[in-house]
Amino acid sequence: MAEDVFENAGIAAEFIRSQTSVEPRIAVVLGSGLGSFAEAVENGVAIPYAAIPHFSASTVEGHSGRLLLGRVAGVPVAVMQGRVHGYEGYSPLQVTFPVRVLGSLGVKTIVFTNASGGVRLDLKPGQLVLLSDHINLTGLNPLSGPNDSRLGPRFLDVSEAYSKRLRGVAKTTAEGQGFELAEGVYLCVSGPTFETPAEIRAFRILGADLVGMSTVHEVIAARHMGLQVLGISCVTNMAAGILDRPLSHHEVLEAGARVQAQMTRFLTALLPRIDR
């Protein structure tokens, strides 16, 4: 199966190259409700996921399901407008396949964004938080099974899953725009149910600051290929039990919409700095 991933990623990458002359160095993966950054892509070519060989289609509201290739502030980029998740019925290999394709295209750095629940009590809805580390509680790992050394090593060091250098660049960029970026540990669960109040209390004891249902498997696959990673969470709601009201995906999308302008300005300023 690992050999198929390598070969299929190459087939998908060749198809994408046939659609555009852009050779992206940086990729951005947009989470729930954060898709409007795609409007900042200049002279973009949009390719529906369904048209790309071996890609899976996103079924979740707030995930447009297309790949854009173009330039942002002069930087050649690939922007994934939405992702797929394990709770949609996809395997870890399917969830991470787009990352393998981005690596095959020549991307060296990926910025992963997501919508998350705030576990740490000082976080607020609408706040952007840099990921400094993660906790994988999905019970799955995308590197399980035979290893293909063309993709990466059998045993992967993830002691610095999220680049310290890129986090420093991100913090400096945010300061220049008049806001501060906190850092936090992201805990990934399988979903699709939101977490219970008891689970959130347990996650806080484990050291989690944020909770969500994506990103971690993709980050593992990216680091497996030697790609640099920056993770940014948008706190779209406080986690279960913190506020006395039910959680909903509609709330997630609404909070994402409120922060989209800030996220777009931030990423547009950040990408050229990363590219240096």
Catalytically active residues, by annotation = 32, 63, 85, 87-88, 115, 213-214, 237, 249
Residue 217 near residue 190 (C-beta atoms within 8 A)? no
Yes or no: say if 67 and 52 are a contact pair by the CB < 8 Å rule: yes
Give backbone dihedrals phi and psi of 64, rounded to 5 degrees, phi first. -65, -30
User: Cβ–Cβ contacts within 10 Å for residue 120, how many?
Assistant: 18
Residues 157, 158, 163, 165: is their CA dihedral positive or negative? negative
- Per DSSP, helices labelled H in the chain are 2-19, 92-105, 164-176, 197-206, 216-224, 249-275
Pairing mode, if any, of strands 75-81 and 26-30?
parallel
Q: Which residue, 40, 148, 58, is CA-closest to 98?
A: 58
* Phi-psi map region of 226: left, alpha, beta (phi>0 left; psi -120 to 50 alpha): left
Cα dihedral 120, 121, 122, 125 sign: positive
Joined tokens for residue 156? 């992967």
Q: Is 51 helix (H, G, I), strand (E, B) or coil?
A: helix
Q: With residue 185 as reference, give the H or E element that holds it.
A: strand 182-188
